[in-house]
Amino acid sequence: MASSSRITEGPARRPGGEGILPSQDIRQFIVSGVIRSATGIDDAQVQPSSIDLRLSAEAYRVRASFLPGKSTTLLEKAKANGMLIETIDISRPALLERDAIYIIPLVESLALPADVYGIANPKSTTGRLDIFTRLITEFGNEFERVPRGYNGKLYVEVVSQTFPILAQAGMKLNQLRFGRGRFAAAGDSRLRLLDQSDPLIDADVAGDQANIDRGLRITVDLQGNNAGIIGYRANKFSPPVDLSKLNYYDTAEFWHPIYNDGKSQCILEPGEFYILASKQRVRVPPDLAAELLPYDLASQEFRVHYAGFFDPGFGYGWAGEIPGTRAVLEVRASQMPIFLEDDQFVGRLNYYNMASTPDKVYGGSIGSSYQQQGLALSKQFKQQHRLNSAAASGTAAVGRESAQGAATHPEADDVDEESVSRLDCLENAISHPMSAKTSDR
């Protein structure tokens, strides 16, 4: 869990500028005590425009989701109202049950300047496993938001909605970005100018130019990869997933591949969790960050459950050397079956200014797991056997939907694992015990 370097000192400078704060400003916050931890903070936690937050050694299982309110702390409210069920030691790997609600204090705490706010979201791997997380502050009245000037502890609410999971202190399930000034997306006129000089998508893959309308329009890919796979549906009643094990689990035990039936379409079943991919290979230059939002905030047909946050350099690199990266869509069906067709509009990617260009960007050089892949599962599941099988079998037959197909028709598109965004669609009545929603990875 620990990195090879700790942040202990840095240049004496005050972060400045409006927009999302970059890695060098976050690092300076650590040095100056704005971001605090009794155990020190690893440099690897600092991402291009966010910091990964770590679980502490205790988890509290509670009866329902709640906010602390202005008159009491979060844990005091849980105890006083009979919400607390049990306290769990997670200093060693511990089981977090499916659909159970846990509140876990984070190792990091904050003492923000008066002009700096925070916005949290799950990490990419967290979303791909259908693990619902929300940041909570003391005396807070909103999930996933840290008010300007906040001074206090941080907590994360965790609900694993598909798989039981084994979690341990030090693991990183969510991340926090900081901002100064207005949190406002770049307008369409600016995006069109940017796209003319430096394309926002790989047009050769999408077959068209970027479609800009209140942000970059994102559509779903149901043609599939070289193996004919258009997505995965999570198996119910799977064994626990140990989050510390990478490239470890056999896909077929946890996921059912969905193959193109020749019509490039699929029906999403109520209560099921799916992994799909975007049609577009999107690009985020180093001086911008991006966020995926539902195509219609008023609609109950598609709802974003996990915040889809894209770091600077996603699908781009330092100087545009990467032609684009697909967004992996995390999809949960609502109370009714939903029919999807290839290239159907599912969300908008909004772009936001960085306060300054970060001193590192998203990619393999900083350990990013998903920079250049196609449709792919989280990093806990085996990748290499799928690549070997694809090379041996060539193009897969279309129309097979069986567990056996997962082994014989692997995903040939994820040679480099793809970057992730989160689009949870079809969430009219999601099947977990919470009803409060966030507004946002």
DSSP letters spanning 46-76? B-SS-EEEEB-SEEEEESS-----TTS-HHH
Which of 157, 180, 203 terminates a domain? The answer is 180
59 shares a domain with 111: yes
Q: What is the mean pLDDT of residues 28-37?
A: 97
95 shares a domain with 45: yes
63 shares a domain with 200: no
pLDDT of residue 366: 52
What is residue 121's DSSP assignment?
E
Which of 180, 201, 217 terminates a domain? The answer is 180
pLDDT of residue 227: 83
348 shares a domain with 211: yes
In a domain? residue 31: yes
287 shares a domain with 150: no
As a whole number, the mean pLDDT across the chain is 82
pLDDT of residue 31: 97
In a domain? residue 441: no
218 shares a domain with 168: no
CB contact at 8 A, 51 and 35: yes
Predicted confidence (pLDDT) per residue in 295-329, tens digit: 665 555 544 445 578 999 999 999 999 999 999 99
Q: What is the mean pLDDT of residues 338-353?
A: 92
Q: What are phi and psi of 384, to 5 degrees?
A: -65, -35
412, pLDDT greater than 70? no
In the chain, the number of structural domains is 2
120 shares a domain with 50: yes
Q: Is 84 helix (H, G, I), strand (E, B) or coil?
A: strand
CB contact at 8 A, 289 and 352: yes
In a domain? residue 272: yes
What is the domain-level CATH number for residue 145? 2.70.40.10
Confidence of residue 334 (pLDDT cuts 50, 70, 90): confident
Angle at CA of residue 105, ends 16 and 43, nearest 5°: 45
Q: For residue 400, what are the domain limits?
A: 188-408
Closest-CA residue to 104 (of 58, 63, 167, 146):
58
Which of 180, 196, 218 terminates a domain? The answer is 180
Q: What is the mean pLDDT of residues 263-267?
A: 93
In a domain? residue 439: no
Contacts of 190 (CB under 8 A, 6+ apart): none
In a domain? residue 294: yes
From CA 231, how far away is CA 213, in angstroms rounded?
27
In a domain? residue 313: yes
In a domain? residue 216: yes
118 shares a domain with 32: yes
In a domain? residue 421: no
14, pLDDT greater than 60? no
From CA 176, how far away is CA 47, in angstroms rounded?
10
Confidence of residue 271 (pLDDT cuts 50, 70, 90): confident
386 shares a domain with 263: yes
Predicted confidence (pLDDT) per residue in 171-180, tens digit: 999 999 999 9
238 shares a domain with 163: no
Between 3-7, 39-43, 180-184, 198-202, the lowest mean confidence (pLDDT) is in 3-7
pTM of the model: 0.83
pLDDT of residue 16: 63
From CA 118, how far away is CA 109, in angstroms rounded?
12
Q: What are phi and psi of 340, to 5 degrees?
A: -115, 140
Predicted confidence (pLDDT) per residue in 125-175, tens digit: 999 999 999 999 999 889 999 999 999 999 999 999 999 999 999 999 999
289 shares a domain with 146: no
From CA 355, how far away is CA 139, in angstroms rounded?
29
69 shares a domain with 166: yes
